[in-house]
Amino acid sequence: MTTTTHAANAAGDRRSSKPKRSDAAKREHRTGWAFMAPFAILFALVFILPIFWAIYSSFFRQVAEGGGAYGGGKLVNKFVGLQNFQYVVTSATFWSGIGRVLLYTLIQVPVMIIAALVLAMLLDSYIVKRVTVFRLGYFLPYAIPGIVASIIWVFLYNGQISPIVKGLAAIGVNVDFFAKNIVIGSMANITTWTFTGYNMLIFLAALQAIPHDLYEAARIDGANGLQIAWHIKLPNVRAAALLAMLLSIVGTIQLFNEPEIMSVSDPSISKSFTPMMMALYTSRGTLTPSGDGPASAIAIVMALIAGVLAALYALAERKVNEQ
């Protein structure tokens, strides 16, 4: 973000040469906000307001008033202090959901990012010449909605119809993609299938921006292809990889589509398999305690965990980078 500060400094310098809060500066202020306003208003409605609403409602719980005397009793919001948070942090269901999601993140994100990096480097190397087919082919799954991708893969995991399961059985490998220890891997495969190509394209774009003189210089110094990949290409895609990694970590925390679809065909996957499912079904009244209060508390604790994870990763990455 160095360019930001440059622009800001330049503008600041221009302003400081004039009297403070000059007409020009005021006009710039007004114009800036005028362009900013439409996004700012929508952003406030879609992000800021819901965040505060979630925090506010997390202190309340909906309870029935006066018992069932008047047809079931009206639901009223009752202030319960930190009870909802207490429920979330002591809920074994919540933590096992978080555990699943963390395990998922730990396996899926590195596999996907490394695969995307390797593919990008291979396509950027001198080894292959016609890369368009590969590039578009790898990217195609990104255009398939997650929910549709999940449906297709769930069919491909289904022993009755899947040529994969049947084919493996024919060569003596009997695999159950819904088995207790495998099901997370089956879901991770769906996410990996969908997003690897997208990340690969981003890395490929970063790689192609590296000046090729650098490679030439390295070649003259006697570096081989692997050394060039390691010492020149890898450092140059670091920024892109960091961003992709952070977005992927945040993305997997809110895992929903894959387990939701898999739970349709496999009832042993519970309605609280992931924290996001738990939050949704709590707000819809499928799980008790139900309502916005407990659901908001789940969402807030999840957001905090996601924030901590992203910050930890960014810090670790910076540490490694400094060495």
Partner 1 sequence: MSATTPMTRQEREARRARRKADRIRDLHANDLPRSMQPSAAVRIVTIAALVITLIYFLFPIYWAIIASTKTPSQMTGSNGLWFAVGIDQLPNAIAANYSKLLGWTRGNFWRWVLNSLIYSGVSAAVGTLVAVMAGYATAKFNFRGKNLAIGVIMGCMLMPAALLTIPQYSIFHAMHLTDTMLAVIIPCCVSPFGFFLGRVYAQTSVPNELLEAARIDGASEARIFFTIVLRILAPAMVTIFLFLFVATWNNFLLPLMMISADTLKPVTLGLYGMVSLATFNDRGALMMGALLGVLPVIVLFLGLQRYWQAGLAAGSVKG
Which 192-251 residues touch partner 1, going by CB under 8 A?
A: 193, 196-197, 201-203, 205-206, 208-209, 211-213, 215-216, 219, 224-225, 239-240, 243, 246-247, 250-251
Under rule CB under 8 A, which residues in 53-72 are in contact with partner 1? 53-54, 57
Dig out the tokens for 149 from the structure: 């991708």
Taking CB under 8 A as the rule, does residue 104 contact partner 1?
Answer: no
Contact pick of 105, 113, 141, 188 for partner 1 (by CB under 8 A): 141
Which of the ranges 72-80, 83-91, 152-160, 178-186 carries the binding residues for partner 1, by CB under 8 A? 152-160
Which of the ranges 69-77, 85-93, 102-110, 277-285 carries the binding residues for partner 1, by CB under 8 A? 277-285
In the complex, least distance from residue 94 CB atom to partner 1, rounded to whole angstroms: 14
| Continuous H helices in the chain | 2-16, 23-43, 49-57, 83-89, 92-124, 132-139, 146-157, 163-170, 183-208, 212-220, 225-228, 234-236, 238-253, 257-265, 275-283, 292-322
Contact pick of 17, 39, 68, 181 for partner 1 (by CB under 8 A): 39
Residues that contact partner 1, how many (by CB under 8 A): 111
Burial (CB count within 10 angstroms: exposed 0-12, middle 13-18, buried 19+), residue 247 = middle
Q: Which of 163, 193, 156, 210 is nearest to 178 (CA)?
A: 156
Taking CB under 8 A as the rule, does residue 36 contact partner 1?
Answer: yes
CB closer to partner 1, 66 vs 222: 222
In the complex, least distance from residue 254 CB atom to partner 1, rounded to whole angstroms: 4
In the complex, least distance from residue 319 CB atom to partner 1, rounded to whole angstroms: 19
DSSP 126-177: SS-S--HHHHHHHHGGGGS-HHHHHHHHHHHH-TTT-HHHHHHHHTT----T
Q: For residue 60, give the 3-state DSSP assignment.
A: strand
